[in-house]
Amino acid sequence: MRPEIAVTGLGLVTPAGNTAEENWAALCRGRSLAARDPELDGLPVDFSCQVTGFDAVGELGRSQARRTDRFVQFAMVAARRAVGNAGLDPSTWRGERVGVVLGVGSNSLSTYVTEFCHLGAGQPERVSPLALPRSVPNMAAGEVAIDLDARGPNFTTASACASGATAIGVARDLLRSGTCDIVLTGGSESARSRMTATCFTRMRALSRRGAEPHLASRPFDAARDGFVLGEGAAVLVLERLSHARARQAPVMALLRGYGAGSDAHHPVAPHPDGEGAARSIGAALQDAGCAPRDIGLVNAHGTSTPLNDAAEAAALTRVFGLDVPPVTASKGVIGHALGAAGAIQAAYTVLALRHQMVPPTANFQGQDGEHKLDVVAGAPRPTVKDAAISCSFGFGGQNAVLLFTGP
């Protein structure tokens, strides 16, 4: 028998708030948090979903805040909160048995733009010696390990917008194999750089609804025209259920299934029939020993782009037929945090199971296309089934699906 994997703590830093309670309340209100972004002023798309009320110096101290970029700061704070939520004390744990696996989709383009400007101006002496160690993707996991004395396996997964979900699946495998007793896992990203916004704008991936930013992110809605940039982090504490029970830890949920695969279709477009996504959903169900009828909630990738939402709807229909479970898509509220999105969704799925509620999808009014879903909108809806899937997909045809149940 494979050991069961428990979620015993979580920490969140998102546009919806810096605590689980704040995030859940914002999700249930179902209103987008997109607004004008001074960082993007003057660009064709000048709005995003921003983390507000985050004081890096107050949270981490001046020295740590200075040497780290924003995505690393988010990860460190989310990890501290997850560990505290799990009732763990890093001063007493066996650090060599504690791993850190975090998903990061990209590196910190804001830092690189600044330093490249120095180089382009013929002033290499002005390039910061901290430019690399503060901004390369693995430093989110590295700084978390330093901060919390986690001396087990430590690395970053990069599977585009599926990175956070991939990290959680890999962390699960470290526990199943006995390599670790505890793994801090999730993802972090701050995508609000001028270069990131410009690249996605040139690709026509971002919503152009600049006159009404709060209506721009609208997953699965017939009027969707692109996603909204976001940022944030989520960290989950995973343990074998036996380990959690031995220390009498409260169990928030069980991570029962993980499925991953590739479309092998196109660099940026999903398979139009959702073939790879459907296989990954099926793999997660099989891994968990669940049937489609057991699932009471789908936390969809739901980017609000025409192609991705249509492909995801097709994938869900391939797996569930005419009985697709109630669907929610949190990017309507918090935007798209790219590499962190799958981790944030996973945390939201755990919260939904704990509250036995499906949060509404912001700005959803009606669907197009042939694959119609039961998209929850307007107000939260109770769910009576104790299992949920969280879907994450990304550039390169990356697919990762997590299946959680109640404890």
List pLDDT tens digits, range 158-211: 999 999 999 999 999 999 999 999 999 999 999 888 999 999 999 999 999 999
**Which residue numbers are catalytic?**
161, 301, 336
pLDDT surpassing 90 at residue 111: no
The arithmetic mean of pLDDT across residues 136-154, rounded, is 96
pLDDT surpassing 90 at residue 110: no
How sure is the predictor about 134, in pLDDT bands with cuts at 50, 70 and 90?
confident
The residues, any chain, with a CB within 8 Å of residue 311's CB and separated by 6 or more, are: 270, 271, 272, 273, 274, 277, 393
pLDDT above 90 covers what percent of the chain? 92
Q: Half-sphere exposure of residue 281, counting CA atoms within 13 Å on the CB side?
A: 29
Q: Do 222 and 367 meet the contact criterion of CB atoms below 8 Å apart?
A: yes
Q: Do 401 and 391 meet the contact criterion of CB atoms below 8 Å apart?
A: yes
For 318-352, give the DSSP string: HHHTT-PPPEE-THHHH-B-GGGHHHHHHHHHHHH
CATH number of 255-405: 3.40.47.10
Q: Do 77 and 9 meet the contact criterion of CB atoms below 8 Å apart?
A: no
* pTM to 2 decimal places: 0.96
The residues, any chain, with a CB within 8 Å of residue 174's CB and separated by 6 or more, are: 99, 101, 152, 153, 180, 183
- Domain residue ranges in the chain: 5-247, 255-405
pLDDT at position 369: 85
Q: How far apart are CA 240 and CA 231, in angstroms?
A: 30
Query: Could you give the angle at the alpha carbon of 84 between the alpha carbons of 80 and 89, nearest 5°?
Result: 95
pLDDT tens-digit readout, 31-83: 999 999 999 999 999 999 999 999 999 999 999 999 899 999 999 999 999 99
Asked if domains 5-247 and 255-405 share a fold, the reply is: yes
Q: Specify the DSSP class assigned to residue 266.
A: -
Tell me what the pLDDT averaged over the chain comes to.
96
CATH number of 5-247: 3.40.47.10
